[in-house]
Amino acid sequence: MVNSRLLVVGELNVDLLLNQIQAFPQLGKEIIAEGMDLCLGSSSAIMAANSAAMGVDTTFCGVVGEDYFGDFILRELKRKSVSCRHITRLQHQKTGCTLILNYGQDRANVTYPGAMNALTIHDVPFEKPAVYQHLHVSSLFLQQGILNDIEQLFVNARAAGMTTSLDMQWDPAEQWAFDYARCLPYVDVFMPNESELLALTRTGSISDAIEKIKPYLNTLALKMGKNGSIGICGTQHVTIPAFEVSHFVDAIGAGDSFNAGFIRKYMAGAALEDCLREGNRMGALNTTAAGGTGAFDNLEKINKNIKEYWGTESSLS
């Protein structure tokens, strides 16, 4: 077990995956999907579950309803060795659900937020000295109860002695009401993908987007899919190529697995280049099985697959 403690704060939902779909849905018409899976969803939960599978001592803070989906999520997180002691169950709320329509390496999502909106800053445990080493937050715009207090959330974490990371994810309303100039100075690692960064900064190129947020950055870990990742920290500017995948299944949760790999190394004090490489490796591994956690059963299987797919020894132990 890695000697570190990770607290993940975020949304919780199940993913209902439809695969091998004959066409894109049209109003008034019905189409057939040849495959279906129900699995643990949400960016935050996937990151937490896969971090735990890598050996990181991981705790989740979130909200679910008193329903079947809530039971399923708690069972899956516990099976993945994630502590659920800060997950609240609410009787009069339904647990969130995301319907995912997979089309090759692209997909369309429809999310019902449900109980995830009920999570607030008051649910997050901040103790001094900090019980946890690192705070990770995902899916900012799906959590209305957290959104207005996001800056204070990171201020509190820093004051408790924790390092911090943020993967804001896509804004379904496309308003991008996130004051990055005020908040990012309290975020140790900012982890968007290309399209999110462009939308947030309202710029037309990655170079312009980086220049716009650079005055407020500590570390940027920019996810670029098949093009790998970019890391920026002070005067460092590192680009790490992606790992090639010849056995692609789906890309659900690949960015979250990148986050898990990167933050695991970051908490261990690794260099930026090593953090990015581990993020890329885990993001690539994610795509070799269905859903966000299918490729992360346990350490033994992770290590075996990394050696089989890329001929390298994993750093996990």
Residues 71-81 have pLDDT tens digits of 999 999 999 99
Predicted confidence (pLDDT) at residue 93 exceeds the cutoff of 90: yes
pLDDT tens for each residue of 191-221: 999 999 999 999 999 999 999 999 999 999 9
Homologous superfamily in CATH for domain 2-310: Ribokinase (3.40.1190.20)
Task: Say what the pLDDT of residue 4 is.
Answer: 61
pLDDT tens for each residue of 300-309: 889 999 999 9
Predicted confidence (pLDDT) at residue 2 exceeds the cutoff of 60: no
pLDDT tens for each residue of 225-269: 999 999 999 999 999 999 999 888 888 889 999 999 999 999 999
Q: Summarize the confidence of residues 82-105 as an average pLDDT.
A: 92
Task: Say what the pLDDT of residue 34 is.
Answer: 93
**pLDDT tier for residue 107 given thresholds of 50, 70 and 90:** confident
End-to-end CA distance of the chain: 7
Summary mean pLDDT of the chain: 93
**pLDDT tier for residue 311 given thresholds of 50, 70 and 90:** confident
Task: Say what the pLDDT of residue 133 is.
Answer: 96
Task: Say what the pLDDT of residue 258 is.
Answer: 98
Q: Summarize the confidence of residues 111-118 as an average pLDDT.
A: 93
The residue extents of the domains of the chain are: 2-310
Q: Summarize the confidence of residues 159-186 as an average pLDDT.
A: 96
Q: How many CA atoms lie within 13 A of 192 on its CB side?
A: 24
pLDDT tens for each residue of 129-153: 778 999 999 999 999 999 999 999 9
Predicted confidence (pLDDT) at residue 3 exceeds the cutoff of 50: no
**pLDDT tier for residue 53 given thresholds of 50, 70 and 90:** very high
Task: Say what the pLDDT of residue 317 is.
Answer: 59
Task: Say what the pLDDT of residue 315 is.
Answer: 72
Percent of the chain with pLDDT over 90: 82
Its pTM stands at 0.92
| Residue, of 103 and 284, whose pLDDT is higher | 284
Rg for the chain (alpha carbons), in Å?
18
